[in-house]
Structure 1
Amino acid sequence: MHKQKHLSLKITLGPYQTFIDNILDLAKKRQSSYVCVANVHMLIEAKNDKAFRRALLAADIVTPDGMPLAKALKLLYGIDQDRVAGMDLLPDLLKSAQDIGLSVFFYGGSDQMLEKTRAYIKTNFPKLQVAGLYSPPFRPLKDEEKNEVANIIQESGAQIVFVVLGCPKQEKWMYEMKGKIPAVMLGIGGALPVLIGEQKRAPKWMQKYSLEWSYRLIQEPKRLFRRYLVTNSSYVMLLAGQKIKLMLVSKKK
């Protein structure tokens, strides 16, 4: 799949279904790889955090999770790109995994969240092969603990690993685990709580007009207010600067 550089990211391009097909292909091959679902917050974080940026640039696939990124590709480069959101990828991949017999593993989240996940899957994807669910301690892991986790996942036979650690922790974890876990890993962050009903997703009209962030802000104002105030403002400025730069380059030609 082709990628387009956009500020601190290299965003993978293609129709939505192509992303599903490529992820499933990596899973079938048991290829150690990982997928990042990128939004504006991640782009700004990557600009300021070298380790995080390194993890994103090394990803096999970086989807335009946020509608603003998909629209930016059109504005700057004339690319019509589908939004490829984690909240859509997660249920679609679970269904596909069930249909073709792939095994999945959930890493991260609390014990309570994983129990709800187990119950949700039992009801909605009863034939899905769940290789395991693992809630790690809420602290940095020691090297021996990291190796133990890699061994657990490897021995489980999982082909798709859904990583629920939150940004940027999950992206850095996948970067570190590439080559150690023979599966495709996906950082799904906030998609799992929505799937199992702990949180609600924005209405379709808000998704269409790039307002899903505001719906999440209403749900979690204390946690997200500063993030959106800073990241959205920074992104608008960076986007404007990039547009002006491309216009100047175009005029010189």
Structure 2
Amino acid sequence: MVQILGMRVDPTSYEEATGKAIAWAEAGESRYICVANVHMVMEAYDDPSFRTLVNAADLVTPDGMPLVWMLRRLGHPHQERVYGPELTLRVCEEAARRGVPVGFYGGHPEALEALVGNLKSRFPGLQVVYSYSPPFRALTPEEDKRVTEEINASGARILFVGLGCPKQERWMAEHKGKVRAVMLGVGAAFDFHAGRVRQAPAWMQRMGLEWLFRFFQEPGRLWRRYLKHNPRFLLLVFLELTRMRRFA
């Protein structure tokens, strides 16, 4: 485990993350996995309660390239990106192969329907036993209890959660021990695999420019996030690395 600005990020791989998710699912364990990018690190930096719940996750993968570069700088030279949309595909592929039932919680109703259809077409053996698009408002305690009971009754052992950061991480932490499944907070993977939003070209992803591609797709929604978080992240990481060099 490594900490970046106080938030945990685990050196891991697609194979290791997929293997853990499947093993926990087959054991019927309640776990949650976060896929971390700059946005999540800065949300955790600004909110100690959010940082605590991310640090308590069972696995935190480096989803964003700036976090991959930091892990390499901090003693893990061969670290690669473990990207939420790709991890979704790999977990679904292995779940289909091993007969592990999955579910989906989040997204717009139309996107959720397209997502499930696309994944079942891509992985014919995939058992999708649950899908639900919750309202944008917070659920009442009665509604939340009903949803939790429905997820458990479905038999889903892996639950992909697409509510966006930080909402999905809070939801997973609140439902650990209640939802009898491995919860993966994969955010934008829902829209990507539903075909509603295009992913950045591979070269932009490798260069850490995916944020720029997404910004031009949804400037009205994303400009505040990137304007607020990206410059601060760069400055704070620079100061953190400078302190480390001085200490060494």
| Alignment correspondent of 1:183 | 181
Distance in 1 (CA, whole Å) between partners of 2:76 and 2:184 is 28
User: Contact (CA 8 Å) 1:76, 1:246: kept in 2 or not?
Assistant: no
Deviation of the 1:195 alpha carbon: 1.2
* TM norm structure 2: 0.96
Contact 2:65 2:81 in 1 (8 A): yes
1:195 aligned to 193, 197, 214, which one? 193
Counterparts of 1:155-234 in structure 2 under 5 Å? 155-234=153-232
Determine the structure 2 residue equivalent to 1:22. Answer: 20
1:149 Cα deviation after fit: 1.1
Q: Structure 1 residues 14, 118: closer, same or farther in 2, change over 3 A?
A: closer
- CA distance in structure 1 between the aligned counterparts of 2:70 and 2:120, rounded to whole angstroms: 39
Secondary structure in 2 matching 1:81? coil
AA partner of residue 110 (structure 1) = H
Moved over 6 A (4+): none
> What CA distance in whole angstroms lies between the structure 2 residues aligned with 1:220 and 1:171?
22
- Structure 2 counterpart of 1:196, one-letter code: A
Asked whether the 8 Å contact 2:44–2:51 carries over to 1, the reply is yes
1:188-231 Cα deviation digits (max 9, x unpaired): 11011111211111111111111111111111111111211221
The within-5 A match list for 1:81-96 is: 81-96=79-94
Residue aligned with 1:27, SS:
helix
Quick one: which amino acid aligns to residue 111 of structure 1? P
1:78 CA displacement: 4.9
Query: How far apart, CA to CA, are the structure 1 residues paired with 2:88 and 2:176?
Result: 20
Identical pairs, percent? 44
The residue type paired with residue 135 of structure 2 is P
> Whole-Å Cα distance in 2 between the matches of residues 15 and 166 of structure 1?
22
Task: Give the corresponding residue for 2:142.
Answer: 144
Whole-Å separation in 2 of the counterparts to 1:165 and 1:204: 25
In structure 1, the partner of 2:68 is 70
Amino acid at match of 1:139: R
Q: Which moved further from structure 2: 9-18 or 233-242? A: 9-18
Structure 2 Cα separation of the partners of residues 109 and 78 of structure 1: 34
Q: State the shift of 1:76 in Å.
A: 3.6
Query: Letter of the aligned partner of 2:49 in structure 1?
Result: A
Amino acid across the alignment from 1:212: E
Q: Please say which of residues 110-119 and 212-221 is displaced more in the overlay.
A: 110-119
Change (3 A) 1:155 1:78: closer
1:8-19 maps to which residues of 2 (within 5 A)? Answer: 8-19=6-17
Partner SS for 1:74: helix
State the partner residue of 1:103: 101
TM-score normalised by structure 1 residue count:
0.94
Q: Could you tell me whether the CA contact under 8 Å between 2:107 and 2:190 is conserved in 1?
A: no
* Mapped partners of 1:231, 1:223: distance in 2: 14
Deviation at 1:123, TM superposition (A): 2.0
The one-letter code of the counterpart of 1:108 is G
Is 1:109–1:165's contact at 8 Å kept on the other side of the alignment?
yes
The code of the aligned residue for 1:14 comes to T
List alignment gaps of at least 5 residues for structure 2.
none
Does the Cα contact within 8 Å between 2:31 and 2:176 map onto a contact in 1? yes
Cα displacement (A) at 1:118: 2.7
Indicate yes or no: 2:133 matched with 1:135. Answer: yes
